[in-house]
Structure 1
Amino acid sequence: MTQLELFPVQSDPLAPADPPALSELTEAQRARAGRRLAYVQALEGLPAGACGADAVPAAFAAVGREVDDVKWPSLRQVRRWQRLLRTSGGQVAALADRRRSVPARPRWAGWIGSVADEAAAQARLRPARSLSLLTQAALQRCREEALARGCAPDQVPAPGTLRRMIRARMRPPARGSAAPARQVFRFLHMSSGHPLGEVVVGEETLDIALPELDTDRVHLLTARDAYSGVTVAARLSTTEPDGDAVLGLFGARPAAATPEPLGVARLCLGLPDALLLDHAPRFRSESVLRSAAALGIELRFGPAASAGGAAPAAGLGQWLAATGAAVATADGLMAAVQDWLSRHDLGRSRRDGRTPLDRWQEGVTRYPIRLGAAAAPARMPGAGAGA
């Protein structure tokens, strides 16, 4: 009998245990391991020298959209998964280990985020109200909404959690924290309870030369639904828009309308309950007030710099600069606007994983919109020029 048989080598008690087989894992653990493997493969698939500050987030973002992840991992996390996969001999089941993972945060329903958004907007519109009062009002609304939806009591956040959610929305974003292309999709909306309950009108002036129209400046007018975030109407013009142009976004045609060489990029056939406008004199003419009253639209005015007010449409110019799109003709500009609107409406929120178009479709199913006299039937916003 050899010495090896008398004194067998003891295994190291500190060595990591062998990972279980995939068949021994639960469905959630297998899904987690598959998602992590996709991020590791995306990192290893990058060309040599391309692991910079731009290539890695873009690769992780593509994987996150493919696997429908709300929050994407950091480069440090993926490196740790890569080492874990190598030490286990390439066994995918090793990626299901959660002992060193960051504790998962609870995912609240999308309507809770809307309540927090509304509370943050109310805090900016009414600075005299304290955060405690806003939290109490938001908590009461969450409880009422949960009761109406038949949700369990544990699906409503605690007062401290709701307070932190509201405070985070009141804090302005850090300068340079988001890329210009992603900054286009940043929109803090004040929920009005149903689609077209309140529509925020914004405008943007673009320095774009269009030789065929003999102009080097174009005005963009947008109407964004406060409930869903969908841009329900948009219009391009070579002249500064006025109140008649705003009502024209919803099918109202003044008697003395001048022809516009560019025109409406997206028309909304529904009528809003209220329009939030800048208090510029061109939006407050007597004819505009009479036309709005005849349509049953309430006009609300506020300074352009106020939160929740008629903020600039800001986004198309930044998006054109970020994507490097060259616009030299009126048709090219109209196509760029259509692409920008579609990308915004389909931009997935990192908070709840939903798009503005998802919120719009859910809202019009529960709350039918008010149609104008020219609507026959209403069209959904999204691809195409109608809203």
Structure 2
Amino acid sequence: MMSVQHPWFKNVLHTEQHDLMKSDQPGFVFAASSGVISTRKIIKQLDLIQTEQSDYAQHMQAWVQQCITELAAHKNSNAVLVGGFPFNHDERPELLLAEASNTCLMPRQDDRRHLALFGQTIAASLLPSSEDYKHGVEAILNQIQTSTLKKAVLARAIELRPAQAVNVAQLFNNLLQDNSDGYTFALASNPAQQGWFVGASPELLVAKQNEQVFSHPVAGTLARHPDYHEDQKRAQQLLASVKDHQEHAMVIEAIADQLAPYCHQLQIPKQPSLIKTKTLWHLATPIHGLLKTADTHVLELVELLHPTPAVCGQPPQLARDLISSLEPFQRNLFTGAMGWSDAQGNGVWSVTIRCARVMNDLIRLYAGAGIVAASKPEAELAETAAKFRTMLDALGIEPEQLVYQ
């Protein structure tokens, strides 16, 4: 992972995560292997203009240009743009212009704590039901057989209604401990109405530092096993999976085709490698390029790449239309882009997966699976269940605690 730095990285704020995430105050924390950034002062919440265009790419282009203009207007204040872009153009980005700090999260003796949900019975709802999700997979498989569709990512959600509010700072800390090699984030642009959007993504959409650009796509997943030897077998099973390699290659090919015109050099390994989180094995490929011009803004690269086939499908518009017809909920920031950019055009943006919207009386968890010709409905359902474990483990929730309505 390339190190993306900003002048404010020279000044380190030493604090506890509980001081960064107040339940009633806007804020943003983003942790990567290169460091943790957090907002010290919110300059403004960006209210981006909704265009009359029906095409997502045109909306994204308009949003990015507004963001670049806002950053340029505050160039001398060391302001950064932080937050998230949504998956669908009919949802609003949640973006803040803020003063940010390189942040050192000071450890606590009780650093890993169970949240209030531990051990209690929790009312839960599936969106859609397991059977309806499998029917959705079958519908996509039918489209793959009868149209030009090659892949579509079908998502589902779990809604939890806890008896008491979750400590978002502790949830963030648990996620960070469990997923220290990824991108852990917490965002609240309007906490009173929208709560916090929290997650731990293993996937880098794009990072840019001067002329260097980096992406680390993830596609192809298998649940880990608590037994070491069985876990290693699963890793090798994923590495040998023709279906998962085909799905992964589709993502890499799309990103390479999009980045190539902007780069005079692009390094892409011929084969993916294995990466792991606490609960999952993934196929991943690190992509590194040298831009033709360092003036290319990281937000222009976000616009270029988002959404990748890893979270949407191929071809994109056909997949997007099918997703809209099958999913009984709005994805919101899920499968969007989450990160930060500075006025110099540098920044880091992750793919917004392994995440949840956390409100006082409602938590909505998201997970999706990429459906290709070789997919099996039961296996894709199991993959989404495995992906939910990232958030459920951080919340301290075991499956037997959930009472489905």
User: TM over 0.5: same fold?
Assistant: no
**TM-score using structure 1 length:** 0.25
**TM-score, normalised on structure 2?**
0.24
Structure having the higher strand fraction is: 2
